[in-house]
Amino acid sequence: MAFVSKDIMHAGWLVEMASLWAFHASTLAYQREPLSTEAVNEYWIRNRVRFDGWNTMLSRLRSQTLSLSVAKRVRAWDKLCSLIEEVLLSEPLARVSAAFAAELEERQIDNDSHSILHNVYAAHSEVRNRCLKIILEGIERGLEEADELNRLRHYLEHWTDMLLGYFLEFRRRSSSSQAGRPSLGAQYAFSISRVEDFAEDFGQSSLGRNATMVWTLQLAGCRQWLDENCRTSVLSPKMHQRIAEASIGMIKPSAFDSLGCLRSRLIHSIQYGIDHADETIAKLQTNEWESLSRVLIATAPTTHIRFEVG
């Protein structure tokens, strides 16, 4: 991948970070652990620094594109395109992380992180709107780079809605108390109808055992598309790395295995059973076993059958 280079982190990897959050949403929520407060605050601080830098660069580069010098205009437009690309590539993580924090807040697992991550999303949206205005102006002027940026925007909007579809599908499989409530993706999706379509087509309920394989192919396709359609130049690689570190740091260490990979929900269930074995045995001995079951137990109506011999 063009994103891979020694000591340089391309903004495209932030798209993969958002994908990690979305695909493992059910596992992370199943842990019922709040996000790391320290990492959430660090994520907010790093993003605020980046937003200030983006706004400053946008103003400076945009003024330089009006220069009388042709060479200066060309250089400024090239850097401006790289900056806008970074803003677009960073958006899926801002939306997905805020959506996940909202889910934790609604489940009363974490009541503090959502407001902070939503603030990051709102600030990012303001910068994005400035970038979209520049893209529109470039399209009207017939600039090829503006069309490429608009194509990237369109692709990332669809990808983000697909990621949010995993949240919606997880919500449908969760407790019945969630069923009649507004979908989580509504406030962070570009198109809620598209989110619902993705949830139906690519969710665990529809694909079953093939869900992981389909997800792997989708992620590989996303990597290839970004590799072929994004610039190799990076304006702020260190800041991307710090934000990625803060993002992954929000997940508690217990969610990872010894190799640094996120554990599956099945592994978490097994580990939970081992850690609470004494509690399980005690409830079995005191006839409280029904509270251990996640299956609704209902008494079936008695049916009387009469046999007649002719």
Q: What angle is formed at CA 188 by the lines to CA 195 and CA 212, rounded to 5 degrees?
A: 45
pLDDT tens-place string over residues 156-174: 999 999 998 877 766 555 5
Q: In the chain, which residues have pLDDT < 50?
A: 1-2, 4-6, 175-177, 179-180, 293-310
In a domain, 37, yes or no: yes
Q: Which amino acid is at 99?
A: A
- Which structure tokens are listed for 274? 């081992």
At residue 270, the 3 state secondary structure works out as: helix
User: What is the Cα–Cα distance from 20 to 222, expressed in whole angstroms?
Assistant: 13
DSSP state of 287: T
Domain that residue 246 falls in: 4-253
Mean pLDDT score of the chain? 79
- Would you state the pLDDT for residue 277? 59
Number of domains forming the structure of the chain: 1
In a domain, 303, yes or no: no
In a domain, 273, yes or no: no
H-type helices in the chain, by residue range? 12-23, 25-31, 37-64, 70-106, 113-140, 144-173, 192-202, 204-207, 211-229, 237-249, 265-275, 277-285
User: What is the Cα–Cα distance from 211 to 185, expressed in whole angstroms?
Assistant: 20
The whole model's pTM is what?
Answer: 0.78
- Which phi-psi region, left, alpha or beta, contains residue 33 (left: φ > 0; alpha: ψ -120 to 50)? beta
- Which structure tokens are listed for 245? 């570190």
- Would you state the pLDDT for residue 304? 46
- Would you state the pLDDT for residue 66? 87
- Would you state the pLDDT for residue 295? 41
Q: Give Cβ neighbours of residue 83 (< 8 Å, ≥ 6 apart).
A: 54, 57, 58, 61, 131, 235
CB atoms within 10 A of CB 254: 11
In a domain, 260, yes or no: no
In a domain, 192, yes or no: yes
Q: Give Cβ neighbours of residue 264 (< 8 Å, ≥ 6 apart).
A: 27
In a domain, 58, yes or no: yes
Which candidate, 200, 217, 186, places its Cα nearest to that of 99?
186
In a domain, 267, yes or no: no
- Would you state the pLDDT for residue 26? 65
In a domain, 307, yes or no: no
pLDDT tens-place string over residues 5-55: 445 688 888 998 898 888 777 667 666 788 889 999 999 999 999 999 999
User: What is the Cα–Cα distance from 38 to 161, expressed in whole angstroms?
Assistant: 28
- Would you state the pLDDT for residue 205? 65
User: What is the Cα–Cα distance from 85 to 88, expressed in whole angstroms?
Assistant: 5
- Would you state the pLDDT for residue 293? 47
Taken in order 234, 239, 241, 247, the sign of the CA dihedral is negative
Phi, psi of 142 (to 5 degrees): 75, 30
At residue 6, the 3 state secondary structure works out as: coil
- Would you state the pLDDT for residue 87? 96
At residue 307, the 3 state secondary structure works out as: coil
